[in-house]
Amino acid sequence: MNIAKRILEGDALTPSEAYEIYTDNTIDTLEMVDQAYQLRKHYYGHKVKLNMILNAKSGICPEDCGYCGQSRDMKKKTRYGLVDKEKISEGAEVAHDNNIGTYCIVMSGRGPSDKEVDYIADTVKDIKQAHPQLKICACLGIAKDEHAVKLKDAGVDRYNHNLNTSENYHDNVVTTHTYQQRVDTVETMKKHNISPCSGVICGMGESLQDRVDMAFALKEIDADSIPINFLHPIKGTKFGDMDELTPMKCMRILALFRLVNPTKEIRIAGGREVNLRALQSMSLMVANSIFVGDYLITGGQPNKMDFDMIKDMGFEIDYDNLVPEVQQ
Ligand code: SF4
């Protein structure tokens, strides 16, 4: 198999070819990883981008996303309203001090109110003044044009809104909003020159075909950054007892997404530690980006373990998205 060479020569995989490769049991997962690594190395060398999340508002959500511990269906709820601006800015300081390139401000809920967008925009302005080099990603839910304009003006670089799953499987995951609404939010951000970040959650009962469809949907939408979450089942959620991933299955998924989206930032997101386990370091052969620190309501491993993992693999942190501090 030499798909990487073919892709590098400009001949992209078709959906049916990707499905054949992904589902062919005679193709070893490590062979797929090897092909994906050649692409990763070509476009990103040995660099690893770092991202950090702040859960700026938790719970209080009317939506019924089956994977989410903040959904309306959760009996035991962790919830708090939008945190103080100081707390959001403190998170930015931590990101800056740890040389983390992108700081992601996340709010639970269907989408932000106008007031919430103003609040986040004001806070981002302050952060950007202190740390112009720090990239800011906002993840606030379904958003409108006016929201995108305000966020862009404030200095938001990127907006995350995951497609989460395939169009075909979407209604099994959530019934309170549509797949199209998700696509529309990504398109709104693109229209206003905010870098689109959109990814998936694997392991929610979707089929192999659904995963191939997800990889191509993200190619179609032209997401700059593709976070791949592996379901970390949370008790009390619809998918709380799901247990269908193995570390090797996760590797195969990552390789599939790289082969379909060779030039994109592929980021391993939530569920990395519990699903990839001992293969976390190997996953860097395919992905060029990770989250460090905790996720929204589940814990990550200590930062030092991530920094050591990157070093042990002979990889290095990608500081390219940092520009020098402004000298006074
Ligand atoms: S993923 Fe977001 S929209 Fe869905 S239930 Fe959780 S907080 Fe609400």
DSSP string over 283-303: HTTT--EEE-S--SSS----H
Q: Which residues form the domain of 171? A: 16-318
Contact 98, 303 (CB under 8 A): yes
Nearest CA to ligand 1 atom 7: 108
Q: Which of 58, 64, 71, 173 to mutate to test the pocket of ligand 1 (most atoms within 8 A of CB)?
A: 71
Q: Is 49 exposed, middle or buried (0-12, 13-18, 19+ CB in 10 A)?
A: buried
Residue 105 lies in a domain: yes
pLDDT tens per residue across span 10-52: 999 999 999 999 999 999 999 999 999 999 999 999 999 999 9
Distance 252 CA to ligand 1 centre (A): 27
Dihedral (CA of 137, 138, 144, 149) sign: negative
Q: What's the gap in Å between 56 CA and the centre of ligand 1?
A: 13
CA 64, CA 137: separation in Å to the nearest integer? 24
In a domain, 39, yes or no: yes
Task: Compute, in angstroms, the gap from residue 12 CA to the centroid of ligand 1.
Answer: 34
CA of residue 70 relative to chain centroid, distance: 18
Query: SS3 for 27?
Result: coil
Residue 63 lies in a domain: yes
Distance of CA 69 from the midpoint of ligand 1 (Å): 8
With respect to residue 5, please indicate whether it lies within any of the assigned structural domains.
no
Query: pTM value?
Result: 0.94
Strand, helix or coil at 113?
coil
Provide CB contacts within 8 A for 70, sequence distance 6+. 58, 59, 60, 61, 77, 78, 79, 108, 296, 297
Residues with CB under 6 A from ligand 1: 61, 63, 65, 68, 70-71, 108-110, 141
pLDDT for the residue 325: 39
The closest of 209, 208, 184 to 198, measured between CA atoms, is 184
| Position with higher pLDDT, 292 vs 171 | 171
Known binding residues for [4Fe-4S] cluster:
61, 65, 68
How many independent structural domains does the chain possess? 1
- Residue 94 has what pLDDT? 92
Q: Which of 108, 177, 198 gets mutated to test ligand 1 (max ligand atoms within 8 A of its CB)?
A: 108
Mean pLDDT across 236-243:
95
Rounded distance from Cα 68 to ligand 1 centre (Å): 6
Mutate to test the pocket of ligand 1, among 64, 67, 70, 174 (most ligand atoms within 8 A of CB): 70
326 pLDDT band, cuts 50/70/90, is very low
Identify the residue whose C-alpha is closest to ligand 1 atom 5: 71
pLDDT value of residue 60? 80
Question: Which domain CATH number covers 124?
Answer: 3.20.20.70
Q: Are 144 and 124 in contact (CB under 8 A)?
A: no
Helix (H, G, I), strand (E, B) or coil at 72: coil
Categorize the per-residue pLDDT at 327 as very low, low, confident or very high, splitting at 50, 70 and 90.
Answer: very low
